[in-house]
Structure 1
Amino acid sequence: MREPLRVVQWATGNIGTRSLKNVIEHPRLELAGLYVHSEGKAGVDAGELCGLEPTGVRATRDLGEITALGADCVLYMPAACDFDEVCRLLESGANIVTTRGEFHRPDGMDPAVRARVEAACGRGGSSIHSTGSSPGFITEAVPLVLASIQRRLDSLTIDEFADLSRRDSPGLLFGVMGFGQPPAALPEGRLTHGRTSFGPSLMLVAEALGMPLDSLEAGGEVAVARRPVEIAAGTLKAGTVAAQRITVSGMRGGRAVLNFRATWYCTTDLDPAWNVRSTGWSVRVDGDAPLDVELRFPVPLEEMAAVSPGYTANRAVNAVPAVCAAPPGIRTSTELPQVIAELG
């Protein structure tokens, strides 16, 4: 494997822009190309798009230009997964690290899609891996490490908290997530999407630990604003959704042995009152070596929008060497070596 590894950044949203900056500044990665979706970004120097000096690499909207580069890896970070694109990239010989969640657990994929992706990996001698902060780091890497000092695991519960009051993303908060709406108007499946978003990670971890799950159970609840509240994205009226809690539980032998619970909120003045915590994670392990681990983001709320993309983008960038060195195929967290950041 030659160094530096030649990497393409695919898409420049919040996460992709941070990833692009990381690649440019990385001591052992070289930016080979940049794919963008916006016509306004096409032809613009990559450095300009992430606040750095010019790199000589200009953004393109031409997939053919990307596959012709012979890059070692593509950091694939679009808003939606296009399996046609993915397969063309893999067939070209480029490995893929993606923050998309479709590839966390191959056994849970649509069989036809999985077969198509694996065939593309075989033709290109390439591999693909899904990672990020959540799911990814907190639902796979951390549980596997904490379980490594257990010889009996009764249960493992991950709590995620996110204060979204300073996030200036009206389309995401009000449109996709349903904040500011009457509880009955929440988008269909909003409170049960943990099954597909976080369930694959729980199943992967359980299988790696020799404790395959019998089933997944998913649900959720909401709390409303007690009075009107101004957040960065707009106004929440009294009586509209101001907090959401989704839960997905991995069941084994009639018990919930692996749990993920996310509490996302825009104010703490809620009805009913919830005991919310500052942004971060809490992991409770019940076994023969019990643990209670707190991982908080020590970032002022007004700086969170600038800092938080790194939690997802950084792990993807750090995983590039391991994925490039992996055998062809869809590679999971349980198959790759521990991701170690090259910071020198």
Structure 2
Amino acid sequence: MAGKRYRVAQWATGHTGISSLRSIIEHPQYDLVGLRVYADDKVGRDAGELCGLASTGVVATRDIEEILAARPDCVMYMPLLHQESIDDMCRILESGSNIVTTVVGFPHAGTLDPGVRERVEAACSRGGTSLYGTGSCPGFITEVVPLALLVMERRFDNIAIAQYADLSTRRSPEFLREIFGIDPATADLADGAARSERTDGAALRQIADAMSVPIDDITATSEIAVATKDTEIGVMTVPAGTVGAWRQDITGYHRGSPLFSYSRVKYVVRDLEPAWEVLNTGWHVSVRGDVPMEMDLRFASDGYGTWSPGINANLPVNSVADVCDARPGILTTAELPLVPNFSR
């Protein structure tokens, strides 16, 4: 809402969280009121210091009670996957604070574990609050872009999205070392496929439901390619013979026909076995209907490692006002305006 101010707390300061924190501090409508961190060496430090800005007077804490006591209108909930906590999320929601989260799996309420869904919806009801999960990658490419393109169609056959993500300059050593430079025998392909079905599948189901063509079935696969030579990247070495790229493919079907398909290739090296063709970071989208379309979205290469955290952080930041003003409950991209505010 124009002219209205929003009290915002940042939860976690990793690759995406630190970008979100900086944007909250600089946003013309937001007031930073809390900062939750996980690393001991960040506790007690000023939020501005942590993200390279001037002092804000808001210091980092590990205590959820301090975050709740600040009474934020919205908490930007962005922990790593193994640090997410439904208990914490429910406490935030029932305290009266909305949540915008990059934790995957929340954009489609029907895909959530029934017990988790019941707890989250009950917390929203008690707090009069909303939860918006920004979706896979996040939901810009799996939700926002499809909705924008499909408004051009009256007969819709299928949409296919191919993503390529060069992570070699990403400043997230903990994240990268979990999935790259590892023994291929230890790569859990079944888990990769299951994660894709749960996370990407939730995003695809949300859009299909919004268009009244629900997905009846989903197939998901995961595979790897190994580096053919030792390669130095920004934060680690990827030895020859270790995992240098991952690919997940997921397809959603309506009445037996492919409706949505999504392919993601994440890589840190280009010299691979098998010799996958890996494109520069971006997406290719193919729409088949009465108005067929092909679209490429590519990012500028200059300074990519510096500004790339915004790919995941900016959509959540831009959604805060809309989420705070929305109905209580689990929200979808299809029902939010998601209009950014660029006032100075």
Shift of 1:282: 1.1
Query: Hey, what does 2:230 align to over in structure 1?
Result: 228
Who is 1:63 aligned against?
64
How far apart are 1:155 and its partner, in Å? Answer: 1.1
CA change 1:237–1:67 in 2 (3 A) is: closer
Which stretch of structure 1 is more off in the superposition, 91-100 or 252-261?
A: 252-261
- 1:306 maps to a residue whose letter is T
User: Which residue of 205, 217, 220 maps to 2:207?
Assistant: 205
TM-aligned CA deviation for residue 227 of structure 1: 3.0
User: What's the CA shift string for 1:249-292, capped at 9, x where partnerless?
Assistant: 10122222101101122222222222221001111101111111
The runs of 5 or more residues in structure 1 that have no matched partner are none
Residue 341 (structure 2) aligns with:
342
For 1:296, the equivalent position in structure 2 comes to 298
CA offset digits 1:214-258 (Å, max 9, x no partner):
111000222222333333343333333222211011012222210
Change (3 A) 1:325 1:221: same
Q: Could you state the TM-score of these two structures normalised by the residue count of structure 2?
A: 0.93
What's the counterpart of residue 11 of structure 2? 10
Kindly indicate whether residue 325 of structure 2 is the aligned counterpart of residue 325 of structure 1: yes
Q: Please state whether the residue corresponding to 2:121 is helix, strand or coil.
A: helix
Alignment of 1:39-188 (within 5 A): 39-79=40-80, 80-131=83-134, 134-175=137-178, 177=179, 179-188=180-189
Q: Once the two structures are superposed, what CA deviation does each residue of 1:296-331 show, in whole Å capped at 9, x if it has no partner? A: 11123xx32221111111110100000000011111
2:221 corresponds in structure 1 to: 219
Conserved 8 A contact 1:168-1:232: yes
SS in structure 1 of the partner of residue 38 of structure 2: coil
User: Shift of residue 67 of structure 1?
Assistant: 1.2
CA gap 1:329/1:259 in 2 versus in 1, 3 angstroms: same
Q: Would the aligned equivalents of 1:160 and 1:262 in 2 still touch at CA under 8 Å?
A: yes
Q: Sort the Cα spacing of 1:307 and 1:132 in 2 relative to 1 into closer, same or farther, 3 A.
A: farther
* C-alpha RMSD of the superposition: 1.8
**Residue 182 of structure 1, CA deviation:** 4.2
Deviations 1:162-197 (A, max 9, x none): 12233354432332x2x3334332135344121112
- Unaligned segments of structure 2, at least 5 residues: none
Check whether the contact 1:132–1:316 (CA below 8 A) recurs between aligned residues.
Answer: no
Write the distance in 1 (CA, Å) between the matches of 2:100 and 2:237.
Answer: 37
Report the Cα distance in structure 1 between the residues aligned to 2:261 and 2:165, rounded to whole angstroms. Answer: 17
8 Å CA contact 2:136, 2:203 repeated in 1: no
Q: Give the number of equivalent residue pairs.
A: 339
Structure 1 length-normalised TM: 0.93
